[in-house]
Chains A and B, each alone.
Chain A
Amino acid sequence: EDKVVQSPLSLVVHEGDTVTLNCSYEVTNFRSLLWYKQEKKAPTFLFMLTSSGIEKKSGRLSSILDKKELFSILNITATQTGDSAIYLCAVEVFIIMKTSYDKVIFGPGTSLSVIP
């Protein structure tokens, strides 16, 4: 059964700290790994990773994928209170069915709280 595991499930840090969020997966027909940020409402897309070892970066956030060891990390440097959110990791797998589509499996999320 396909699954995505995230750790830690919750984390409290002080402003200015650097955090690393982990995501590991066991799936068949891997296509990509995605990170989303969820504040009060809709998850918003952060990164999509398809190749091992290539870092994706956006401001203070960065992420990298290791397809051999089946995991990804999301780093946030110099954290701010606005980084407080649930960070969702998801893996896209390809399924051939009568209407083939890319199934997306979400992990449980890491709840990050950044305190002043």
Chain B
Amino acid sequence: NAGVTQTPKFQVLKTGQSMTLQCAQDMNHNSMYWYRQDPGMGLRLIYYSASEGTTDKGEVPNGYNVSRLNKREFSLRLESAAPSQTSVYFCASSERQPNQPQHFGDGTRLSIL
């Protein structure tokens, strides 16, 4: 059971570089999410996608873009990386019904120098 798969697991970038974090789920979930996790701040929602073809901003969307490529895949793009975006990024998915827990990937540790 793969569940939610994120790539890469680690990445170091220079300020101003761009990159895309990939996420895929095999649970046929409609909803997908991108979070960042920083020490002492819990998980903060960057963007979410309630279904294929739709995306909406979360709590901290600035500096990021997303694409819901199909039902399985939801990518997060940093167009011009900044040191403040150094974080651990988690992708999650869930059924689009009330009271359904989210399932998380193993995270991508991203460092911006």
Measured CB to CB, the residues of A under 8 A from B are: 4, 9, 31-32, 34, 41-45, 48, 50, 88, 90, 92, 94, 97-104, 106-109
B-side contacts of A101, CB under 8 Å: 31, 48, 50, 56, 96
Give the docked Cα–Cα distance between A4 and B42 (Å).
10
- Docked-complex contact A92 and B99, CB < 8 angstroms: yes
Given contacts A9-B40, A103-B45, A108-B41, A43 and B99 within 8 Å (CB-CB): no
Given contacts A34-B101, A104-B102, A42 and B44 within 8 Å (CB-CB): no
Q: How many A-B residue pairs have CB under 8 A?
A: 57
Give the docked Cα–Cα distance between A101 and B40 (Å).
26
CB distance from B9 to the nearest CB of A (A): 9
A-side contacts of B33, CB under 8 Å: 104
CB distance from A37 to the nearest CB of B (A): 11
Give the docked Cα–Cα distance between A9 and B33 (Å).
25
A-side contacts of B48, CB under 8 Å: 101
Measured CB to CB, the residues of B under 8 A from A are: 4, 31, 33, 35, 40-45, 48, 50-51, 54, 56, 90, 96, 98-99, 101-107
- Docked-complex contact A42 and B54, CB < 8 angstroms: no
Give the docked Cα–Cα distance between A32 and B97 (Å).
12
Give the docked Cα–Cα distance between A102 and B97 (Å).
8
With contacts A34-B101, A88-B42 known, what are 7 further pairs, Cβ within 8 A?
Answer: A4-B42, A9-B40, A31-B99, A90-B43, A100-B50, A106-B43, A106-B44
Give the docked Cα–Cα distance between A109 and B101 (Å).
17
Q: Which residue of B lies closest to A99 (CB)?
A: B50
In the A-B complex, list the 5 residue pairs whose CB atoms are closest, starting with the nearest.
Answer: A106-B42, A42-B104, A41-B106, A106-B43, A45-B101
- Docked-complex contact B90 and A99, CB < 8 angstroms: no
A42 CB contact (under 8 Å) in B40, B98, B107: B107
- Docked-complex contact B54 and A32, CB < 8 angstroms: no
Give the docked Cα–Cα distance between A109 and B90 (Å).
15
CB distance from B91 to the nearest CB of A (A): 9
Given contacts A45-B101, A48-B99, A92-B99, A99 and B107 within 8 Å (CB-CB): no
